[in-house]
Amino acid sequence: MESINLKISNEQKHITEPAKTTEKTPIEKAKYAKAAREFESLLTSMMLKSMTQTTDGFFGEESMGGEYFDTIFQSEISSKMSQGKGMGIAEMIYFKLTGEKLSNDDLLNLKIKPMQRFEKIRINNKDASGTGIRPSMESLKRVNRFEDHIEEASRAFGVDKNIIRSVILAESAGKESAVSTAKAKGLMQLIDSTAKDMGVRNVFDPKENIFGGTKYLSQMLRQYDGDLKLALAAYNAGPGNVDKYRGIPPFEETKNYVTRVIGYLNHLES
């Protein structure tokens, strides 16, 4: 295939001049800063993934647990790079939007940490939406078999263990071979496209599935600033629907799903 040469006389033509917009409030600037940082982190992660595809990852295809550590390393490295100077992409985007230099102080105005963790998220145990909902003893026993994987995923992605357990209970009742009518598979019911994006090679492998599902859940928690109910709705119905309806979508399946997970979480923490 013949290569295509793009004729660009000035590669920074579209980012060297700031946008001619009205002055932004501190909260607006914080949101722009967060979006710029996250965009650079995502781009860096994609570049790292592309770079390691031809070398079977950082640790090699045959290494013990290499595929899991690849996923963790890519996420952590890209995030750390975007928090520092990085590639300068976040700074250029922010300058284009605000006409100002990007500073970490902008993120503080929104009280959002670039690498927020979610070990301490709690839903009020008196939340009526989950009252009386309990998992069966059989499903609890099945989930307990994967406790080591759940704890490892919790440490890797910063999601509370009981949240992971509750999602597994709601998704598959702890059955690693579960397949839904929508072709979602495994303990955390990953569809093929999500599994691929999360670096999961075998969706029916309990550890891979839990790592992939927890990684995706952590992304949804970050996207919705730690709002567990919105993150759960996005996990079930997709973030596009949550954004479209500006909250939990009016789908009975999704509303029931969020209520069920919260009920299980309340039970586990009672």
Please tell me whether residue 218 adopts helix, strand or coil conformation. Answer: helix
Q: Is 198 exposed, middle or buried (0-12, 13-18, 19+ CB in 10 A)?
A: buried
**Phi/psi-derived region of residue 121, left when phi > 0, alpha when psi is between -120 and 50, beta in every other case:** beta
Please tell me whether residue 182 adopts helix, strand or coil conformation. Answer: coil
Contacts of residue 86, defined as CB under 8 A and 6 or more positions apart, other chains included, come to: 40, 44
Which one of the listed residues 38, 171, 176, 208 is annotated catalytic?
Answer: 171
Residue 259 to residue 52: CA distance in whole angstroms: 40
99 in Cβ contact with 57 (< 8 Å): no
Helix H or strand E encompassing 70: helix 66-83
Token pair, residue 110, equals: 């929104």
Residue 62 to residue 143: CA distance in whole angstroms: 28
Beta bridge partners of 190: 185
17 is catalytic: no
Cite the active site residues: 171
